[in-house]
Amino acid sequence: MKIWKRNAIIATTLLLICAGVYLNWTRSHADVQDLTDTLSADQVMGEDSLVISDLTEPAVAASAQQTAAAQDYFAQVRLSRQNSRDSAVELLEQTIAYDEGTPVGDTASQTLNQIVGTALSEAQIESLVIAKGYQDCVTYINDGVVCVAVAAPQSGLTDVDAALISDIVTSQTDYPLSKVRIIEVAP
């Protein structure tokens, strides 16, 4: 009975994490509704119209494409990470179900607990980094190293930014500063 409760808690936690990742992914991919769908052309344009010179159009378009590419990068990385994690969790849950009470089942249960703990730590780090004002962030905890990919501001990441992100990582995990890697993702 005790093992069943533990497994139910783990499954519920994983379900909540998956739901959070899915909601975050769908929110980042939500299509922005065109103003002409909700307003008439007169309400959108008014009597005057804005003219943008030809010199700024390519810069604005290039900036928009770079921002979209960075957002796609973070969304794809999260989706890839979640898919691989879901596969591993499914295999571990099957192993636990078939080998409950054996050393194999115990090892699978410990591994599942580690995956859940890692997923929670990654989510907490990402949330805190975004809360500090960075546009987006993805965290990997693997092989004794914490990698944090951060959407860099236009001016790039500074030493202060690196120190702030490193402080967040060390406060949320047991990893020393020497095991923290910060990766700047260009906008």
The CATH number of whichever domain residue 103 belongs to comes to 1.10.287.4300
Question: What is the number of structural domains in the chain?
Answer: 1
- Cα dihedral across residues 159, 160, 165, 171: positive or negative: positive
For residues 147 and 158, give the distance between their C-alpha atoms in angstroms, rounded to a whole number: 17
pTM of the predicted protein model: 0.60
In a domain, 38, yes or no: no
State mean pLDDT over 167-184.
92
Residue range of the domain that includes 144: 2-28+60-185
pLDDT level of residue 18 (50, 70, 90 thresholds): low
